[in-house]
Structure 1
């Protein structure tokens, strides 16, 4: 097996920057008690001004008065860690988020589908960059070795055990991810690298540092099985973005909305599913919220389409109070079946597929404005069609019907009417008090038009026009 480690050196900071329209502005995450606030992480803009992690907040304001600050939320960081594990699940069925700040996945089994490691690595980097997360990637025969190598140098790839052992022997003990801070203690004792550490008697190491250190070394070098806690994706999607400011109009909500929709579609591709109904929740102060419900006639997962539909729904909703956060909830995630397409599709490049056009019309005009008609079981023409409501169809087999059916029959005037076909006798409706007894004919007028008309049973005069054939 070959394991890839995706090290996320500034996961907490990236989870905040990705939701901002301008991530280049100086920004710092702060943590600690209210009276002893210090900087947890800073972006490049703040670092250029001299701000550093660990600096007191008062000192940071003295250097850069207009730096934006956001409270570090460990729960939000853990939530984005799970999101990235779900994203990695689309590339491998063996994914672990056991260690903070990184995701490991088994890569060898995916080479046949996604290509050799250089191509696979480039794909991982491209998608992580698009998601807005900085990263370091390494490949090794064991997950712990991949984690250690990713911390040493970005892009390291070792595919054989002997080469891995040779490389690990040179790793400083302080950078070998040893448990319980043992790396710093060993360094102070004069043990500089893993070669020197492994040369020490195992019994002495166990008595002084515990069995966990020996287990870590054995699993690091592949000499003992490493039972990882594997990730399993949830059966629903729930993501939330705090805006950091109050929003009273729709346009400023579009940027975080696009982020939420892209994250949803990424999650759907992981599950190989779609979404048919979800809720966009606009959160206000004092625990109040406004829900924007989005429903589709079929499961979809196209980001541009779902964003367009949600934006149209959002713009039709009045915002009663300033919005401070947005949340996207999707619990109905049916299987996704892509629409069938011809290999040589002659459709114009700018033409919209029918499902996307249908959903766009429903979002703009309302759910009841766009619907499908299907045959009904009633032979009377004025009652032979109904809106599709999902009930099974029990329609009888009928002769061809005109494309244009009049709402009410009207007298057909004219001379030289020629009977093309008929009669087709219709006797129905006795059970609802609207009994109909008619003989229908296809008539051709002097101008060549084909009319669908009826007369009283047994008669061929006093025609009543009911429709026109195309």
Structure 2
């Protein structure tokens, strides 16, 4: 058997150990909690991940994406031995010069084994400073003075007795609560306490090889709140695509909290994700380009933050629609726009920006439009006569052209075939600009 022990850093929150255990479940189903660490039996997973070193590097990379900072790691044939080696990482590195597994354990101090550390004072007076000294003592006398638990732990660490573990399983849905150490009056402060819950969420999603597109952060108001204030508040967060990126979720939550005001001090927060979606792992291209999934994800993360800062109505996405009128073939919707059915491509080039209402142009002596100087025709005319079903005021009888201006670039211009005689315009209008 091959066991891997994962220890969290001393200053890590208590929830990080649960996050480590969930993260380990994405590599093997045989994961258990052993005192302050997480142990995983990975002998069946080594071939899948390309060996022990590759599995360890993959685990460290996934932990970094999740926002976790795992402490020492160690390998051993038994779970207790792996935990002992992880606790004494420096001593274990120095002891690697020893050839056998037993010799490495013999060199560890008594603090590596909790059952021995409990009797450290008495064992030190007997001259025992390491596990090797403890093994050389008479077993019957050791059991009478210190109990059978010490001998059992020693035998299990060295593989002389089998170990029994309770395997961890993932919950059906993610919904965690955290009581705050003090009453929080400002919403942005909640981000500091929500980060451990976000790390657990990302580890939960990694174990399920999934992501989220929506999550909820809730808070309970203090009991001494005003009468007209409710008991709780809630903030819903949506992403443009399925993700489990810790930094992306943290930044997006921070943007929302920066624009949120608490009606009363909060004493407890909760984080939940009702819908978990499969995360599609797209193959990366050898060359960067529009098809690069990493570039698309980065763009979506930027647009999410801009949508929160500027408002949903100020970040828009262009969509094609079925219509015979050229100006009605595209529509700008709030980003992210809902999926739209496939439509026929427009018969001609569509401008990046529409000029609404169309701007009247003057003509030169040859009755050609002029805008910031003379214009050169690129393409056209494209004649349309449509829109009659929406009334006379919506009827369009136009010839569309693409003109080039030396000062303003490509322009989308149309000419009214039957201009209004009462109007003082030339019948030429600027309707769009190509970026």
Q: TM-score range by the shorter chain?
A: 0.5 to 0.7
Equivalent position of 1:428 in the other structure? 386
Residue 400 of structure 1 pairs with residue 335 of structure 2: no
1:438 deviation in Å? Answer: 1.9
Q: Relative to structure 2, which stretch is displaced further, 260-269 or 361-370?
A: 260-269
The verdict on how the C-alpha distance between 1:164 and 1:284 changes in structure 2, with shifts beyond 3 A counting, is: same
Q: Which of 186, 195, 219 is matched with 1:282 structurally?
A: 219
Contact 1:170 / 1:193 at 8 angstroms: preserved in 2? Answer: no
Residue 441 of structure 1 pairs with residue 400 of structure 2: yes
Residue 391 of structure 1 pairs with residue 340 of structure 2: yes
- Over residues 358-403 of structure 1, what are the superposed CA-to-partner deviations in whole Å (9 max), with x where a residue is unaligned? 1111111223331211110012134222223212132344112334
Contact 1:236 / 1:331 at 8 angstroms: preserved in 2? Answer: yes
Query: What aligned pairs does 1:24-103 form with structure 2 within 5 A after superposition?
Result: 81-89=17-25, 92-103=27-38
Contact 2:28 / 2:42 at 8 angstroms: preserved in 1? Answer: no
Q: Which of 324, 329, 336 is matched with 2:272 structurally?
A: 329
- Over residues 340-361 of structure 1, what are the superposed CA-to-partner deviations in whole Å (9 max), with x where a residue is unaligned? 677468xxxxxx9422321111
Q: Can you give the 5+ residue segments of structure 2 that lack an aligned partner in the other structure? A: 119-132, 224-229, 290-296, 369-376
Distance 1:123 1:97 in 2: 18
Equivalent position of 2:414 in the other structure? 453
Equivalent position of 2:129 in the other structure? none
- TM-score normalised to structure 1 length: 0.61
Residue 381 of structure 1 pairs with residue 326 of structure 2: yes
Contact 2:191 / 2:253 at 8 angstroms: preserved in 1? Answer: no
Query: What aligned pairs does 1:156-195 form with structure 2 within 5 A after superposition?
Result: 156=92, 163-164=100-101
Distance 1:9 1:452 in 2: 66
1:154 deviation in Å? Answer: 6.5
The verdict on how the C-alpha distance between 1:266 and 1:283 changes in structure 2, with shifts beyond 3 A counting, is: same
Q: Relative to structure 2, which stretch is displaced further, 261-270 or 377-386?
A: 261-270
Query: What aligned pairs does 1:258-407 form with structure 2 within 5 A after superposition?
Result: 258-286=195-223, 288-334=231-277, 335=279, 337=281, 343=287, 353-386=298-331, 387=333, 388-407=337-356
Distance 2:362 2:6 in 1: 80
- TM-score normalised to structure 2 length: 0.66
Contact 2:16 / 2:68 at 8 angstroms: preserved in 1? Answer: no
Equivalent position of 1:21 in the other structure? none
The verdict on how the C-alpha distance between 1:326 and 1:155 changes in structure 2, with shifts beyond 3 A counting, is: farther
The verdict on how the C-alpha distance between 1:400 and 1:163 changes in structure 2, with shifts beyond 3 A counting, is: same
1:465 deviation in Å? Answer: 1.7
Contact 1:373 / 1:385 at 8 angstroms: preserved in 2? Answer: yes
- Over residues 35-94 of structure 1, what are the superposed CA-to-partner deviations in whole Å (9 max), with x where a residue is unaligned? xxxxxxxxxxxxxxxxxxxxxxxxxxxxxxxxxxxxxxxxxx6x654323113335x324
Contact 1:152 / 1:175 at 8 angstroms: preserved in 2? Answer: yes
Contact 1:137 / 1:154 at 8 angstroms: preserved in 2? Answer: no
1:323 deviation in Å? Answer: 1.6
Residue 4 of structure 1 pairs with residue 4 of structure 2: yes
Distance 1:358 1:216 in 2: 55
Contact 1:437 / 1:457 at 8 angstroms: preserved in 2? Answer: no
Distance 1:216 1:268 in 2: 35
Aligned-pair Cα RMSD in Å: 5.2
Distance 1:412 1:376 in 2: 28
Q: Can you give the 5+ residue segments of structure 1 that lack an aligned partner in the other structure? A: 19-76, 182-191, 346-351
